[in-house]
């Protein structure tokens, strides 16, 4: 007990220390930034000073003493500031989770905005001008793409496609409705509700519509930030999130349309019509650009088997290029990015190594996390920076109208959509969709982009936008979690995808396609099936390297699962204590057909299931085998191939050869009777093996002979071959030292030992079927 309290106390003290350090650092960084920003505003003098200083330093005309320690901040200023901001953001993220109950009540986005406000306040408080950090260039080209790429790359394709119609209707029709409703009514209010001399009445219809289109778009960053924490079911998540992604096209078109023509003051019908066409061009063009770059990326990844180190770079570069290319033509960059990520993913994942896959995943998560944090902090800072023009009428009317528009839009559209859906959207669903329509930094940046000379009311707009953002993020963001609990909305199912579900899902797909064919009905199963077949036949051959192109989905899934299991085992230390993913004592033996005779030796109840045991042994073996290779220096140029994935095709080939040899041996004699085993308990033997893999000797197998009988009894089991091995036990020791070699069976005796080596080889190499190796265990 005392030790525990001591450790508690010390961890508490450590936490406190860390927080103090964070605060001190915060102060320091803010001060530096303030100093830096003051430098920013006296550039000429600083410059000349700097020049003079360097002049002095380099030429030393006056004969000063050589400066031992010199200060030169100017050169480092920009990268230093950037790093400082990023570091601040990351420390904040750490800090939140140290404070005990904060992250449960308040979503992270709110906290970050508050931090931004504080930082901005401190900067202003020290009398310096707040740096305009959230300029649109930085936002759109640096901060936004990682978040969108992360979303697009890991987009769950199946629910997205199944609900695509619904998502599109919400995104396109919903956003249009919102924009026109808010813009139109706002104009009405401005004209009618105020005196003619007030600034509001000078806002034209088009400006109002522009404002409406900026404010009406649901923001993917805010949605992600809030929805990540509430874990609602997949359907609602994909609906709101999909909407926030796809409404970018609408926003882009409306924004450009109204911005172009707000100077003129009216939009002719022709231009309106062109606007509609432009929408299709923007949306489909964006997707097309994304698809092209995605295919390029997939194609490139086909050839990266020798330079695994830079594989992730291709993914990032191609995606970013897709985004930038779309932006060149004023197409929808977000849609391009999503399309690129979604298209390239299946092919790239089949081609790249497991490590690259992990790298991509973690880099994307890291970048998007940092981006998101920075965006919210900058929002806070920008709020303090202003410039603001607070107009009570405008702001309150905007907020109210936004809410009303959203609710009416969602309810109305759901009414129409439900006529076409099988799984209808209930009232609860509608409420969550409406409530989840958060606005975020994209709206602010778009507002920021407006030029003051064309839009004298820019500041009113900005203030209103910020107020709406604050309202949605704080009020809606904070209350959505308790509301979800209150309404008992279905949450995300935590269950992992099992192999059974995968098998039956595929079975169901084929079944439904078949029934559709029998009905003669070309339904969407039919087309999906056609697309899959086209994909398999042509596309996969081009874009996936080597053997993997022929691998059916079920097998790929199975291999992935096995790999995950194996890695899990290694990470858990490979010891006896296993993660209780499957806390059952069921093992292969329980499902193989029952033997007619009972084994003579009574087996002790195993502590682990056999499969897991075999896995452990296998992994320990492989790791020890590879020790020599690992100790070589980790030169980038000679990155050692990962034993688990790179030899896949070799493994498959070896397995095939194995099988053929097994067949050949089968044709040789098969003895049915074997001498009774010496009573060496299986547990002992297994314990020995588990602890000392090098002593993985084959000789104690004789007591396993009864097991062999088991397998022989089952018809057509390849294990029936294994009987032969027990006679070639004597010279097993030196065989297994050679490890992974396969000797061709030259003599029957040799043959069996060669077979046993092959058997050993199987169990070492085949990290792909724990069950096959489990069977092999019997022979050893």
Partner 1 sequence: MGASQTRLEHNYDDLTEKSGFSHEQIKNLYQRFQQLSGNNEKISRDDLERIPALNNNPIRKQIITAFFDKRNQHQNDVGSLDEIGFEQFLMVMSHFRPVNSKATEEEKATVRKQKLRFLFNMHDTDNDGIITLDEYRTVVEELLSQSGAIETEVARAIADAAMLEVASTNVPHMAPDDFYEGITFEHFEQILKGIEMESRMYIRFLDMNAATMRCGKLSS
Binding site for partner 1 (CB under 8 A): 422-424, 493, 495, 498-501, 503-508, 510-526, 529, 533, 536, 550, 552, 554-555, 558, 561, 582-594, 598, 603, 605-606, 611, 652, 655-656, 659, 769-772
Between CA 92 and CA 23 the distance in angstroms is 10
- Alpha-helical segments (H) within 267-332: 269-301, 311-328
**Going by C-beta distance under 8 Å and a sequence separation of 6 or more, which residues neighbour residue 168?**
246
**Going by C-beta distance under 8 Å and a sequence separation of 6 or more, which residues neighbour residue 542?**
299, 302
Give the sign of the dihedral formed by CA 703, CA 707, CA 712, CA 717. Answer: negative
Smallest gap from Cβ 491 to partner 1, in A, equals 14
CB 302 within 8 A of CB 548: no
Between CA 209 and CA 126 the distance in angstroms is 39
Based on CB atoms, which residue is closest to partner 1, 24 or 499?
499
Between CA 545 and CA 550 the distance in angstroms is 10
Q: Give the number of other Cβ atoms within 10 Å of residue 257's Cβ.
A: 22
Smallest gap from Cβ 710 to partner 1, in A, equals 11
Based on CB atoms, which residue is closest to partner 1, 65 or 518?
518
Smallest gap from Cβ 519 to partner 1, in A, equals 6
Smallest gap from Cβ 411 to partner 1, in A, equals 17
Based on CB atoms, which residue is closest to partner 1, 208 or 433?
433
Based on CB atoms, which residue is closest to partner 1, 424 or 454?
424
Based on CB atoms, which residue is closest to partner 1, 347 or 470?
347
State the first-to-last Cα distance of the chain, in angstroms, to the nearest integer.
48
Smallest gap from Cβ 648 to partner 1, in A, equals 12
Based on CB atoms, which residue is closest to partner 1, 126 or 589?
589
Based on CB atoms, which residue is closest to partner 1, 13 or 533?
533
CB 154 within 8 A of CB 344: no
Q: Give the number of other Cβ atoms within 10 Å of residue 219's Cβ.
A: 24
Based on CB atoms, which residue is closest to partner 1, 454 or 504?
504
Smallest gap from Cβ 325 to partner 1, in A, equals 36
Based on CB atoms, which residue is closest to partner 1, 93 or 526?
526
Smallest gap from Cβ 609 to partner 1, in A, equals 8
Smallest gap from Cβ 592 to partner 1, in A, equals 7
Smallest gap from Cβ 433 to partner 1, in A, equals 18
Between CA 501 and CA 350 the distance in angstroms is 22
Smallest gap from Cβ 342 to partner 1, in A, equals 22
The answer for 60, left when phi > 0, alpha when psi is -120 to 50, beta otherwise, is left
Between CA 22 and CA 28 the distance in angstroms is 10
CA-closest candidate to residue 437, choices 406, 467, 465, 413: 406
- Alpha-helical segments (H) within 352-439: 354-385, 392-417, 427-435
Q: Give the number of other Cβ atoms within 10 Å of residue 401's Cβ.
A: 22
CB 306 within 8 A of CB 353: no
CA-closest candidate to residue 705, choices 683, 738, 664, 677: 677
Based on CB atoms, which residue is closest to partner 1, 582 or 676?
582
Between CA 746 and CA 738 the distance in angstroms is 17
Based on CB atoms, which residue is closest to partner 1, 251 or 766?
766
Smallest gap from Cβ 611 to partner 1, in A, equals 7
Between CA 539 and CA 117 the distance in angstroms is 51
Residue 332 token pair: 């929808």
């Amino acid at each position: 007990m005392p030790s525990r309290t001591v450790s508690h106390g010390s961890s508490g003290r450590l936490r406190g220390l860390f927080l103090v350090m964070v605060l001190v650092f915060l102060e320091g960084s803010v001060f530096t930034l303030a100093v830096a920003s003051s430098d920013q505003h006296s550039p000429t003098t600083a410059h000349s000073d700097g020049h003079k200083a360097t002049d002095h330093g380099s030429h030393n005309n006056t004969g000063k003493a050589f400066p031992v320690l010199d200060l030169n901040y100017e050169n480092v200023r920009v990268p230093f500031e950037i790093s400082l901001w990023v570091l601040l953001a990351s420390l904040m993220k750490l800090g939140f989770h140290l404070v005990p109950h904060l992250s449960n009540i308040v979503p992270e986005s709110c906290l970050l905005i508050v931090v931004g406000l504080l930082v901005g306040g401190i900067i202003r408080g020290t009398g310096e001008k707040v740096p305009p950090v959230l300029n649109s260039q930085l936002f759109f080209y640096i901060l936004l793409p990682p978040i969108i790429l992360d979303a697009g790359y890991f987009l769950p394709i199946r629910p997205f496609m199944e609900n695509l119609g619904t998502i599109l209707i919400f995104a396109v029709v919903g956003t249009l409705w919102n924009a026109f409703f808010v813009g139109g009514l706002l104009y009405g209010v401005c004209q009618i509700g105020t005196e003619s001399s007030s600034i509001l009445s000078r806002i034209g219809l088009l400006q109002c519509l522009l404002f409406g289109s900026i404010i009406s778009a649901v923001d993917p960053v805010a949605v992600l930030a809030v929805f990540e924490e509430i874990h609602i079911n997949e359907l609602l998540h994909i609906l709101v999130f999909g909407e926030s992604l796809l409404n970018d096209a609408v926003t882009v078109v409306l924004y450009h349309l109204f911005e172009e023509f707000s100077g003129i003051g009216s939009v002719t019908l022709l231009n309106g019509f062109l606007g509609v066409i432009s929408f299709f061009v923007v949306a489909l063009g964006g997707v097309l650009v994304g698809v092209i770059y995605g295919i390029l990326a997939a194609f490139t990844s086909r050839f990266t088997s020798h330079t695994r180190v830079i594989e992730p770079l291709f993914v990032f570069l191609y995606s970013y290029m897709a985004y930038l290319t779309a932006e060149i033509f004023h197409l929808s960059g977000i849609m391009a990015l999503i399309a690129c990520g979604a298209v390239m993913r299946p092919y790239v994942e089949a081609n790249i190594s497991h490590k690259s896959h992990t790298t991509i995943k973690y880099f994307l998560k890291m970048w998007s996390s940092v981006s998101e944090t920075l965006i919210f902090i900058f929002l806070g800072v920008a709020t303090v920076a202003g410039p603001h023009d607070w107009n009570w009428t405008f702001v309150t009317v905007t907020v109210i109208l936004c809410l009303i528009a959203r609710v009416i839009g969602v309810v109305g559209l759901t009414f129409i959509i439900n006529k076409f859906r099988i799984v209808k959207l209930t009232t609860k669903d509608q409420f969550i969709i409406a409530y989840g329509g958060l606005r975020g930094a994209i709206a602010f940046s778009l507002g920021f982009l407006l030029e003051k000379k064309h839009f004298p009311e820019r500041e009113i707009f900005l203030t209103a936008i910020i107020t709406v953002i604050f309202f949605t993020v704080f009020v809606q963001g904070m209350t959505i979690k308790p509301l979800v609990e209150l309404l008992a909305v279905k949450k995300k199912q935590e269950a992992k995808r099992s192999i059974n579900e995968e098998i039956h899902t595929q079975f169901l797909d084929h079944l439904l396609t078949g029934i559709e064919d029998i009905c003669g009905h070309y339904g969407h199963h039919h087309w999906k099936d056609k697309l899959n077949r086209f994909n398999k036949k042509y596309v996969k051959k081009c874009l996936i390297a080597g053997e993997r192109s022929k691998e059916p989905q079920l097998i790929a899934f199975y291999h992935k699962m096995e790999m995950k299991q194996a890695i899990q085992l290694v990470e858990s230390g490979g010891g006896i204590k296993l993660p209780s993913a499957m806390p059952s004592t069921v093992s292969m033996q329980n499902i193989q057909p029952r033997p007619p005779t009972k084994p003579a030796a009574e087996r002790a109840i195993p502590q682990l299931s056999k499969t897991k045991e075999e896995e452990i042994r296998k992994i320990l073996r492989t790791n020890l085998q590879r020790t020599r290779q690992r100790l070589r220096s980790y030169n980038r140029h000679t990155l050692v191939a990962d034993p688990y994935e790179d030899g896949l095709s070799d493994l498959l080939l070896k397995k095939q050869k194995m099988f053929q040899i097994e067949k050949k041996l089968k044709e040789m004699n098969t003895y049915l009777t074997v001498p009774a085993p010496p009573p060496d308990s299986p547990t002992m033997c297994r314990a020995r093996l588990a602890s000392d893999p090098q002593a993985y000797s084959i000789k104690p197998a004789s007591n396993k002979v009864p097991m062999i009988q088991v397998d022989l009894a089952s018809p057509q089991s390849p294990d029936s071959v294994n009987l032969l091995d027990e006679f070639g036990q004597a010279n097993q020791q030196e065989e297994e030292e050679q490890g992974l070699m396969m000797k061709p069976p030259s003599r029957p005796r040799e043959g069996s030992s060669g077979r046993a080596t092959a058997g050993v080889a199987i169990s070492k190499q085949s990290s792909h079927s724990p069950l096959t190796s489990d069977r092999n265990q019997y022979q050893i």
